[in-house]
Chains A and B, each alone.
Chain A
């Protein structure tokens, strides 16, 4: 296999992995929310968020995997927005610790 093809496939796999890690994180959040549990902000899920964004950023450097990269970054940003809303609005609507 040519080096160019391998490089392209690596970028594509990075893109797919970024989407999958983002979706897994959101799926975990769904499970917590649907079971009525507190979403563990700042634990493993934050690590997944950074992995999702990092893989997405790598994927956008290749033309063929760019759309996958943006998709992954979008999921990562959504996760970030979700944590921020839950944290800031959470304090606003529930004044008790």
Chain B
């Protein structure tokens, strides 16, 4: 083989090696691109849920605050549900994509002890309440759909749908070793202190406040309104808006003003359909606070004695429990 042929042969061999090397490089580049594409797609997909969670947390921290929603819900229940209280540690908040779930228990004082009354399960999507579930432990349930006349606490000018005489008869038939909760409608408007002073040996737990609408139970627009009021007893529960309150009346008025901007939410949380807070706050600021009905609790015998009071117009019997009065 002459030198020229040798040179050609060598060039052919080198070319073949280079071509093998080139195809391996291309194969590796294709593989690398393939994995880059797969992993970048995976990255985008996996970032969606955590990013949405961060946005959700951001919304409930800086937008409509989760604590605001919780405050509105709890304060609404304090003023619309007679004789109820909430426990701080019983609140449970869960956050899912763009929604918040709030569950808590509501309690009632019957006699000298606090009993579970209802469990609430509220689901918010952003700030809208989309689900409300309640599970009641009560034997006597306050009318769910209020009308002008089906209230348990009635203004002096309102009639009631229950048989008042029958309620007193039922009360007198209860064993002495029981404690009861009773809804007392008064014969005229009184100050809360006046009522508390007149009712000895029992606890006045909640007072329904006259807001200029309860004589007809209709707002200026003709809508049926719900009774509102405030807890009378000192409440040392850490969560309670009435904790360390020097004047429950002032706290009540402040609460109404705080709830007012969120009235739609308050109406959805409350079992009642209309609050008409604007109109009622104006009335209270002009005329002050007076009560037309209170919720009391204590020994059956002591509650029965209320029938003798001139100020008591009607009594509706609430929950009954075995004796727990330790005073």
Contact = CB atoms under 8 A, between A and B. Distances in A.
Interface of A: 16, 19-20, 23, 26-27, 29-30, 33-34, 36, 71, 75, 78, 81-82, 85-86, 89-90, 92-96
7 contacts: A16-B35, A26-B47, A26-B50, A89-B61, A93-B57, A94-B95, A95-B67
B66 A93 contact: yes
A94 B92 CA distance: 9
Closest 6 CB pairs of A and B: A89-B57, A93-B66, A93-B60, A92-B61, A26-B46, A89-B61
A33 B94 contact: no
Interface of B: 35, 39, 42-43, 46-47, 49-50, 53-54, 57-58, 60-61, 65-67, 88-89, 91-96
Contact of A90 (B43, B47, B57): B57
B49 A33 contact: yes
Contacts of B92: 96
Given A82-B54, A86-B54, 14 more contacts: A19-B43, A26-B47, A26-B50, A33-B53, A71-B43, A85-B54, A86-B53, A89-B57, A89-B58, A89-B61, A90-B57, A93-B93, A96-B91, A96-B93
Given A16-B35, A89-B61, A90-B57, A23 B43 contact: yes
A95 B47 CA distance: 27
Main secondary structure of the interface of B (DSSP, over half): helix
A86 B95 CA distance: 11
A30 B43 CA distance: 12
B50 A33 contact: yes
A92 B89 CA distance: 17
B95 to A, nearest CB: 7
Contacts of A95: 67
Contacts of B57: 85-86, 89-90, 93
A92 B54 CA distance: 13
Contacts, number: 62
Contacts of B61: 89, 92-93
Contacts of A92: 61
Nearest to B58: A89
A6 B94 CA distance: 51
Contacts of A27: 46
A29 B141 CA distance: 44
A95 to B, nearest CB: 6
Nearest to A96: B91
Contacts of A75: 43
A33 B94 CA distance: 11
Q: Which of A26, A75, A90 has the most CB of B within 10 A?
A: A26
A93 to B, nearest CB: 4
B58 A78 contact: no
Nearest to A26: B46
Q: Which of A27, A71, A85 has the most CB of B within 10 A?
A: A85
A90 B207 CA distance: 38
Given A93-B95, A96-B91, A30 B50 contact: yes
Nearest to B70: A95
Contacts of B89: 96
A30 B65 contact: no
A82 B48 CA distance: 12
A36 B94 contact: yes
Nearest to A94: B93
Contacts of A29: 49-50
